[in-house]
Structure 1
Amino acid sequence: MDIYQLRYFLAIAETRNFSRAAERVFVSQPTLSAGIKKLETELGAQLFNRSKRNTTLTEVGLRFLPRARTIIYECNAAKQEAHGNKPALRLQLGFHRILPIEQITTLLADYRKSHSAVQIALKEGTSEQLESWLDDKRIDVAISTPPTMPRKSEYERLFTTKCLLAMAASHPFAGRSSVTMQQLERQDFIHRSHCLTETEVTRTFARGGVNPHIVFRTDEDHKAQALVAAGLGFCMIPDILLSPGIKLISVDNVNISRNFGLSWHGDTDNELIRSFRLFASSHKWKPLKSELQNLEWAH
């Protein structure tokens, strides 16, 4: 078994595609395929389920994955020690795509001030992707919604985000603390198709007999925020997405929220992960109450 075979294996496991994996390790696809076939022959087992659409790990491949990562990590550490360098501490952090990147960059910039020796690798994804990456040990910690399979990982809540009505700061409703659903009938709305609470919001409005006029659909929050700030429509967004030019107020009888927190594997808990958890739990994740005109927060 050679190191290059393990690198090929990890590239395919992470990209789930032989062509993209070959590009990542700078070899031709036939060379990559030959290396994997040789590795599978040496192990006496198939590592991947191959199909035209996707490539997934077999049960053997899943068991082999953490060992392959450990071997590569130890190999890199040995090289650094041989050159007189102290092996770098590496934290692989996953975060939910709904979280504002400004929050993540502020958190990591502050963290690096007191943990300058730690290398940080980031992955952004949905709740399902983050849970899968955590289970595959492709990330060490995830900042996301509670795991659907809590028995597989540990979880610590960081904050609760509430779904509120966003509008331009200059809108006539901006001076109010709340509006009724009926006041939103046939009003122009920006629809966030990727929202965690999309189904719940849609059903709540439907039960209230309210039919908003959708003027734009997007799965990118910065576009929704820009359109709202420009006065082109309302939007239901989590309060963590408060941004300049936007005012957030409550909608009567709409009480929709989501918890966000840290998830990690109990069997991989170490001093590095514990130090990051402690730091993240003290981070200011949401605006001050005064910034939202004394709205009632879910804590």
Structure 2
Amino acid sequence: MIERYLIRYFIAVVDRGSFSRAAAMAHVSQPTLSAGIAKLERLLGTPLFKRDNRRVELTAAGARFVEHARAIERAFTGAETVGSGEAAAQLLRIGIASTLPPVMVGAAVATARKADTNTRIEILDGRMRDLLQRLDRGRLDAVIGPVPASREMVREIGREDYAMAFAASHPLARRSAVAPAELVNETMLVRRQCEALPETSRFFTTHGVRPFMASRTDDDERALALVASGLAITLVPRCYARKGIILLRLERFDVERTIGLVSDPDAMVRIGTSTVLAALCDSFQEALLPPT
């Protein structure tokens, strides 16, 4: 039996002209898409694409199958709208990690809404581990945020490092980097939702930095407001750069986080070609600053 996601993978390769671009369009990894195309070719008993290092071309059988594939996808789409008599609004349930800045999230959601005004978007905010648990229970379609190394991503959106955040008036603020030894007498605050908190604690302990903690908060915006006030300093992901805050590289602290899209095959069958999801990921990708 030919499943719908195989048809969508095939159409994506035809429309995008390469397996890598098709995988990005379908929000799956390239090996996943390639395996799907191989399965489709086995089911049909014939190759659909000619592959070389530079381009992908349809075989004669592939060219014949295009019309059937598009007709099948149109039929699926039509069947989904029978009940209402008009195009049913698709619902996307997206979890977005709370350690992504609200301004970035707002801009990404605004971009996604413009991409398709008919799609309803339901956003859930929370810790990454909690969102992934909801995804596994089928309560979310996809999750965007810092992905643990043990978890497979559908799409890598970007990577970023961490930096020490200082008030602009701080004596060290004119520096480009700061050594751990220079922080021994500094007052710090704890971002309790930080994914790198265990690594941060070990790093400072190893380097003999045991500061007074002026605050412990789950609210990153409050944490940055306290830093800007001059109360304390803290470690933040690079994407939290903003006016009034100076970010300095912390020497010998090489931890990075990978922001990605996580979903499952069943959900991707339904949302894999969503322009809203693609626009959401693209906006985050453009906003993330590369590691320095």
Instruction: Report the TM-score when normalising by structure 2.
Output: 0.66
CA distance in 2, matches of 1:98, 1:92: 18
Which residue in the other structure is 2:88 paired with? 87
Structure showing greater relative contact order (alpha-carbon pairs closer than 8 Å, 6 or more residues apart):
2
Within 1, Cα distance between the matches of 2:187 and 2:147?
A: 33
Map residues 121-160 of structure 1 onto 2, 5 A cutoff: 121-146=122-147, 150=151, 154-160=153-159
> For residues 235 and 260 of structure 2, what CA distance do their matches in structure 1 show?
22
Query: Which residue matches 2:165?
Result: 166
State the 1:285 CA deviation.
4.3
Letter in 2 for 1:161: E
Seen in structure 2, the aligned counterparts of structure 1 residues 96 and 202 have a Cα distance that, compared at 3 Å, is: same
Per the alignment, do residues 149 and 250 of structure 1 end up closer, same or farther by CA in structure 2, a change over 3 Å counting?
Answer: closer
The corresponding residue for 2:208 is 209
Matched with 1:189 is 188
Give TM-score scaled by structure 1 length: 0.65
Say whether the 8 Å CA contact 1:154–1:266 is kept in structure 2. Answer: no
Contact 2:191 2:218 in 1 (8 A): yes
CA contact (8 A) 1:163 1:257 kept: yes
Match of 2:246 in 1: 247
Does residue 282 of structure 1 match 2:282? yes
Q: 1:129, 1:255 → 2: CA distance?
A: 26
SS at match of 2:99: coil
Q: Number of aligned pairs?
A: 212
Given residue 230 of structure 1, which amino acid in structure 2 is its aligned partner?
A: S
Shift of 1:202: 0.9
Cα pair 2:190 2:234 within 8 Å, conserved: yes
Looking at structure 2, the residues matched to 188 and 147 of structure 1 have their Cα atoms a distance apart, in angstroms, of 30
Q: Counterpart of 2:198?
A: 199
> 2:118 & 2:198 partners in 1: Cα distance?
43
Q: Alpha-carbon deviation of 1:177? A: 0.4
Q: Does structure 1 conserve the Cα–Cα contact (< 8 Å) formed by 2:154 and 2:261?
A: yes
Rounded Cα–Cα distance in structure 1 between residues aligned with 2:141 and 2:89: 15
Partner Cα distance (1:177, 1:147) in 2: 29
**Secondary structure of residue in 2 paired with 1:93:** strand
User: What's the RMSD between the two structures over aligned residues?
Assistant: 2.4
Q: Identify unmatched segments of 5+ residues in structure 2.
A: 1-80
Deviations 1:1-51 (A, max 9, x none): xxxxxxxxxxxxxxxxxxxxxxxxxxxxxxxxxxxxxxxxxxxxxxxxxxx
Alignment identity in percent?
Answer: 27
Q: Take 1:239 and 1:173, find their aligned partners in 2: how far apart are those partners?
A: 18
The Cα of 1:209 is off from its aligned counterpart by: 1.1
CA contact (8 A) 1:240 1:286 kept: no
- The DSSP-based 3-state class of the residue aligned with 2:273 is helix
* Residue in 2 that maps onto 1:5: none
The residue number in structure 2 matching 1:222 is: 221
By how many angstroms is 1:245 displaced? 0.9
- In structure 2, C-alpha distance between the alignment counterparts of 1:287 and 1:145, rounded to whole Å: 15
For residues 187-241 of structure 1, the C-alpha deviation after alignment (integer angstroms, 9 at most, x for no partner) is 1111112211111111101111122221111111111100101111111111112
1:160 CA drift (Å): 1.4
Q: Partners in 2 of 1:92 and 1:115 — Cα distance?
A: 15
The residue type equivalent to 2:125 in the other structure is E
Deviation, 1:267, is: 2.2
In the alignment, the residues of structure 2 paired with residue 206 and residue 98 of structure 1 have an alpha-carbon distance, to the nearest angstrom, of 24
Query: Once the 2 structures are TM-superposed, how far is the Cα of residue 247 of structure 1 from its aligned partner?
Result: 0.6
Deviation at 1:131, TM superposition (A): 1.3
The corresponding residue for 1:50 is none
